[in-house]
Amino acid sequence: MKHTISVLVENRFGAFNRVATMFSGRGFNVHSISIGETEDPEISRMTLVTSGDDQIIEQVVKQLNRLIDTIKVFDLTGQPRVERELALITVFYQKGTRPELTNICDIFRGKIVDINNKTLTLEITGPPDKIDAAMNVLTQYGIKEIARSGTVALKRGEQSKTTVKISSTTKEKVKQ
């Protein structure tokens, strides 16, 4: 079963590498990893999509917690959450197919963000299965290139980082 795990890590040299090394060293699956700074520049949020039976997922969570640079680990699976992925998809078009592609883009509530005389680039955002569906439809037109961000997720209603002390720099920013 797929699990979406959200990890707050120190925004520090090597922290990402520690997580990646742990996954490969212990033979855990990784479907996607995405990482970015949070509102506190000292903390990054990593969203991992992994899979395995309950025992393996328990180990994944524990091993993540065991890393010194890990501040907090949440398994979002089964919890109310917002889960999104962004894809940039460049497809070939001919004279006749351009309206069709625009139409498909609308159906997926995407945007056309680039165009030249052979290809156009769609930006589609949504849960990973929506991206998969869009890719399926677009394949017949000929996909030139694709870039997917990997899943990012947050628990619904969660005040991000209530459990983590807000650093002094952030506090000052909030005041301003």
Partner 1 sequence: MKETRQKISGADIFFECLRKEKVEYIFGYPGGAVLKLYEKLYDVDFLQHILTRHEQGATHAAEGYAKATGKVGVVLVTSGPGATNTVTGIADAYMDSIPIVVFTGQVPTKLIGNDAFQEADIMGISRPITKHNFLVRDVKELAGTIRKAFFIASTGRPGPVLVDLPKDVINSVCEFEYPEKVEIRGYKPTFIGHQIQIKKAAEMLKKAKRPLLYVGGGVIMSGGTRELYLLAKENNLPVTMTLQGLGAFPGTDELALGMLGMHGTYWANQAVNSCDLLIALGARFDDRVTGKVETFSLKSFKIHVDVDPTAIDKNIIVDLPIVGDVKHVIAELASEMDEHPDRSDWWKQIEKWKKECPFELDANDGKLRTQFVIEKISEKTKGEAVIVSDVGQHQMWIAQHYKFVYPRSHLTSGGLGTMGFSVPASIGAAFGIKDRPIISISGDGGFQMNIQELITAVAYKLPIKFIVINNSFLGMVRQWQELFHAEKYSFTDLSKSNPDFRKVAEAFGLAAFSTDNPKEVRSLLDEAFAINDRPVFIEFKVVKEDMVFPMVPAGASIGEMMTKRLNPKTMV
Question: Could you list the residues that contact partner 1 (CB under 8 A)?
Answer: 9-10, 13-14, 17-18, 21-22, 25, 55, 58-59, 62-63, 65-71, 164-165
CB of 142 to partner 1, least distance (A): 40
- How far apart are the C-alpha atoms of 119 and 93, rounded to whole Å? 6
DSSP 39: S
CB of 58 to partner 1, least distance (A): 6
CB of 73 to partner 1, least distance (A): 10
77 vs 149, beta carbon nearer partner 1: 77
Segment (H or E) for 72: strand 70-75
69 vs 85, beta carbon nearer partner 1: 69
Cβ–Cβ under 8 Å, residues 75 and 3: yes
53 vs 172, beta carbon nearer partner 1: 53
- How far apart are the C-alpha atoms of 20 and 142, rounded to whole Å? 33
CB within 8 A of 126, min separation 6: which ones?
84, 85, 108, 109
17 vs 29, beta carbon nearer partner 1: 17
CB of 155 to partner 1, least distance (A): 20
8 vs 134, beta carbon nearer partner 1: 8
CB of 56 to partner 1, least distance (A): 10
DSSP β-bridge partners for residue 147: 88
CA distances from 38 to 34, 42, 59, 94 (A): 12, 8, 26, 42
